[in-house]
A and B are shown apart, each in its own frame.
Chain A
Amino acid sequence: METSANTIIFYILGAIIVLSSIMAVAYRGILRATTFLLFVLIGTAGLYFLLDYHFLAAVQLSIYVGGILVLFIFAILLTSRTYKPEPRDKFRVVMAVMTVLTGIAVTVSVLFKHRFLYSSNPTIVEHRETDMKIIGKALTGADKYQYLLAFEVMSILLLVCVIAGILIARKR
């Protein structure tokens, strides 16, 4: 697509992500905060779509939105009582402000230090979509820059989690 249209879409997505992240942190009602987190995650998936990174975007949608966020909502619905506001603690406010400032400092310094490929060489923009076969081979190969070991370790970890969950929840 045209570069200027891409820029406009990028700014719209960026605005959605920034505003929703602020709301997600600022709201005290926990389910509302989760809903804004949902918008943040969907916006990030939109950014990946904009970058032609379709596989990552679909992973973002199915794992973070369809999986983890649903888990969050289930956990909240099953556990939380009606919300009672806590009194503001000065120490916590100070700590929160310091954490936010540190985060901003780190991000800004990384942004300025990093040399972006596009800004140094604007000619490299081309329509490029990673083939599913390449991703599949990288995930299940044992060569250099291939991730079979990590993949298998992950699946064993998940299997252990499933068995542990069944063990805890089973009827006696």
Chain B
Amino acid sequence: MYSFKDITDGIDSILHLFLNDTFATLAELILAGLALIGAYAVLALTLIYAERKICAAFQCRIGPSRTGKWGVFQTVADMIKILFKELIRLDHNDRFLFRVAPFIVIIASMCTFAALPFAKNLHAIDFNMGVFYLIAVSSLGVIGILLAGWSSNSKYTMIGAMRSGAQLISYEISAGLSLLAVVILSGTMKISEIVEQQSEMWFIFRGHVPAIIAFFTYIIAGHAETNRGPFDLPEAESELTAGYHTEYSGIQFGFYYLAEYLNMFIVAAIAAVMFFGGWMPLHVSGWDGFNYIMDCIPSFIWFFGKTFACVFIALWVRWSFPRLRIDQLLNFEWKILMPICLINIILMSLIVVF
């Protein structure tokens, strides 16, 4: 199978020709950071285009079609437009917190992004407790949302921020618990090992019923964590104009927009890694010819294919269901989803032990 190790090792040895160890490491850190930011931007553009096209298909429209063939450059044009927009200054608010809040949201999602395995040997951070790291840093974004709601000094944003806070804190629990079920099955929290263990068969097929339950609870909870789909009451446009980012304009609003789309991607990518084996091709033990053909497909195509399949599910749900009420939303989490997750963990432990 083609591996990215040749490229990364090549860059490493070239840098070591010109620089000493310290500066070579520093240069590699900066290069990795730039590559991640670039991937972040490109993925955001792709996702926004995909969302517009898929949404159009669900509503029997054509979607963007004028800019470029099939409108592929529409989101690029929109990006240029948003970069030139004016940043509106508000009166009677806390300027500092107003400026800081979008950065907190986007940094939280960037941190999660860095720990994803994009392809074989293309994995920026591989911690021993990778899954725990993912859960930990994805809980930072809520602070940015709360600060944004407060510092805009408006009732709409405040209500939006409070709803979002309650929703994110509650659904984080279910998301964490359903990932924990997979951790129990694999016996490790290291993401590279979790992917490696799925070389025989993906966890969703190997983990019997609990893995399938965990997948569905994770998709629901992750969906709620991204403030999208039927769970978008923090920005319910019919009641709250636009929720917590009502007062933002220009690229500051763009940051929230980017973070929202990338969070959707991240949730889908974590689901793909934990349940569908990340970049690991579909292997069936014994079928050597089949496995060989599967290995010929490059690993990043597997990763992005699985992730975009999960993104498609998210978009499908989003454009199919009506919005929930806040009390229904919280009741659903605390009275239905979390007990299911807890029972699921017990089931999974029983299966692993016996």
Contacts and interface: CB of A to CB of B under 8 A. Distances in A.
A124 B158 CA distance: 52
B320 to A, nearest CB: 31
A130 to B, nearest CB: 7
B25 A1 contact: yes
A2 B127 contact: no
Contacts of A54: 127-129, 133
A52 B165 CA distance: 31
Contacts of A132: 128-129, 188-190
A131 B100 contact: no
Interface residues of B, number: 34
B55 interface: no
Given A1-B25, A32-B94, A132-B189, A58 B143 contact: no
Interface in A38-66: 38, 54-55, 58-59, 61-62, 65-66
Given A55-B128, A58-B133, A70 B150 contact: no
B132 A77 contact: no
Interface residues of A, number: 27
Interface of B is mostly: helix
A16 interface: no
B94 A73 contact: no
Given A1-B25, A2-B25, A73-B147, A55 B132 contact: yes
B26 A5 contact: yes
Contacts of B100: 35
A4 interface: yes
15 contacts: A32-B94, A54-B133, A55-B128, A58-B127, A61-B133, A61-B139, A65-B143, A66-B136, A66-B140, A69-B143, A73-B150, A73-B165, A77-B146, A132-B128, A132-B190
